[in-house]
Amino acid sequence: MGESLFSVGLLSQLHYPLQVTRLNTKTRIAIFSVILIAALVVSAFDAVKLLTNQYTLQAQKIFEDAKTQVEKIRGVTLPSVTLHIITKQQAVDKWGHPSGSQDLTNILRQEKIYKGLFMMQENDSLVQTTSDWTANWIAAAVGHDVYLLKENFNPFDKNAEATLVHELTHIWQPSLETPTTYDEDKAHTALVEGDASFMADYYINLTAHVVQASVNMPFFLVDNPLLDAVHPISNTMWSLNYMPYDQGKSFVGALYDKGGFALINQAYQQGYTPSSTMQILHVDKYFANETVQTVPSPMPDQNSWTLTQTDRGQDHNTYGEYFIQTMLATWLNQSASQQAATGWAGDNFTYYEHGDDYLFTWNITWTSVNDASEFSYAFSSMMNQTSASPIAVGEWQTNGRTLTLTWNPTTASTFIACSTVESATLPSDFA
């Protein structure tokens, strides 16, 4: 009993001080933590103060140098440019949201087109994608202003100045004629972003800051550690957005190889500006001045449909070769998609609405009957990969909409119709 009590007592005695000690330790640890956190906060605050100061100084320093570099490389004089340092959130607020109800309507309509062509998943949002893409920017140039996104741009990084060379190239670039189609817009953007990206690489090679220039992706997107932290952008949307930097740079590189900066400069002049993604993807077609064929739009027989203008104020749109390639590559492999999209000669995309219903038609003309047949086969293969149910030959249904595909060997063209009203998509329904 005594032994037991002793034991218990001993244990109690031992236990008690232990408890106290642990409590004390805990308390001390807690206080220490608080102090430590306070110390960290103070030092982090100092660091931020210091960093903000150094950040701005360093950014301004390389900005001035980049300005001199662009002027020297291109033999131009830049206007006075203001450098702004903003946060990622400020960039998203500024550029990542629809600019008004008309813009939102256009984005939602474009989302229906992407979903109708199986380029976007049913639960994805184009508004969100646009915002996510903006959050991935490192820098932007608007008018005579260059903006740096603080969280995404490190002025001490070895490639930081090249990013500014890229942005300052935008400051120099002459403005192009307003594009009237998606395809022409993409081609112009490919020249603009391609040139700026080419200049950044040119500067890197010139100063030998790095041995190897960026190969697949430009440093100003790749170096961003936050890229994976945001809502991931689908491969298809990424490909569409990223094309001007990637294929655009190859295009501009080909111009440089042929005629130096003089030939690149010429591309900004009326009559020399690339007019389609076909010319960007196949630079020989640019040099041969192979232009886009005008394609008619078969009219729906039901006159209840109201033709809806594009966001560029046009009755019809042209999506072009790169868009087609990207659409197919959402479901098929890259080389098969490229192969099937090559031979594109022109297309007419027309969008109609009737209440909550929509109908879009897409008439694509091909260089040869073989090209038309090839696309037709690839598109059918693509449709078989999607979750859409085949209803008849060249007809599929999913999520309350019907899509039909027909091809015409005599005119070497293919015709796609997609609508929430099945009867509106039937080939017999078109004049």
Residues that bind Zn ion (CB under 5 A): 193, 196
70: exposed, middle or buried (C-beta count within 10 Å: 0-12, 13-18, 19+)? Answer: buried
Least CB distance to Zn ion at residue 30 (A): 50
Q: How far apart are CA 423 and CA 359, in angstroms?
A: 11
- Closer Cβ to Zn ion, 58 or 173, answer by number: 173
Q: How far apart are CA 303 and CA 316, in angstroms?
A: 17
Least CB distance to Zn ion at residue 73 (A): 16
Q: How far apart are CA 168 and CA 185, in angstroms?
A: 21
- Closer Cβ to Zn ion, 242 or 375, answer by number: 242
Enter the tokens of residue 320: 């072009």
Q: How far apart are CA 79 and CA 62, in angstroms?
A: 17
Least CB distance to Zn ion at residue 74 (A): 15
Placement of tokens 């293919």 in the chain: 414
Enter the tokens of residue 430: 């078109």
- Closer Cβ to Zn ion, 167 or 374, answer by number: 167
- Closer Cβ to Zn ion, 166 or 401, answer by number: 166
Least CB distance to Zn ion at residue 366 (A): 33
- Closer Cβ to Zn ion, 193 or 374, answer by number: 193
What are φ and ψ of residue 218, in 5° steps?
A: -75, 145
Q: How far apart are CA 354 and CA 361, in angstroms?
A: 14
Centre a 10 Å sphere on the Cβ of residue 305 and count the other Cβ atoms it contains.
Answer: 21
Residue 225's identity, in one-letter code, is: P
DSSP 177: P
Least CB distance to Zn ion at residue 67 (A): 16
φ/ψ bin of 276: left (φ > 0), alpha (ψ from -120 to 50), beta (otherwise): beta
Least CB distance to Zn ion at residue 214 (A): 14
- Closer Cβ to Zn ion, 190 or 378, answer by number: 190
- Closer Cβ to Zn ion, 154 or 361, answer by number: 154
- Closer Cβ to Zn ion, 176 or 196, answer by number: 196
Q: How far apart are CA 247 and CA 163, in angstroms?
A: 18
Least CB distance to Zn ion at residue 92 (A): 17
Q: Which residues contact 257 (CB under 8 A, 6 or more apart)?
A: none
The three-point CA angle 362-343-395 to 5° equals: 35
Least CB distance to Zn ion at residue 196 (A): 5
- Closer Cβ to Zn ion, 51 or 78, answer by number: 78
- Closer Cβ to Zn ion, 195 or 374, answer by number: 195
The answer to whether 165 and 195 have CB atoms below 8 angstroms apart is no
Residue 355's identity, in one-letter code, is: G
Q: How far apart are CA 181 and CA 109, in angstroms?
A: 16
Least CB distance to Zn ion at residue 245 (A): 7
Placement of tokens 């391609």 in the chain: 194
* CA-CA-CA-CA dihedral for 324, 183, 322, 414, to nearest 10: 30
Give the nearest residue (CB) to Zn ion.
196
Least CB distance to Zn ion at residue 425 (A): 39
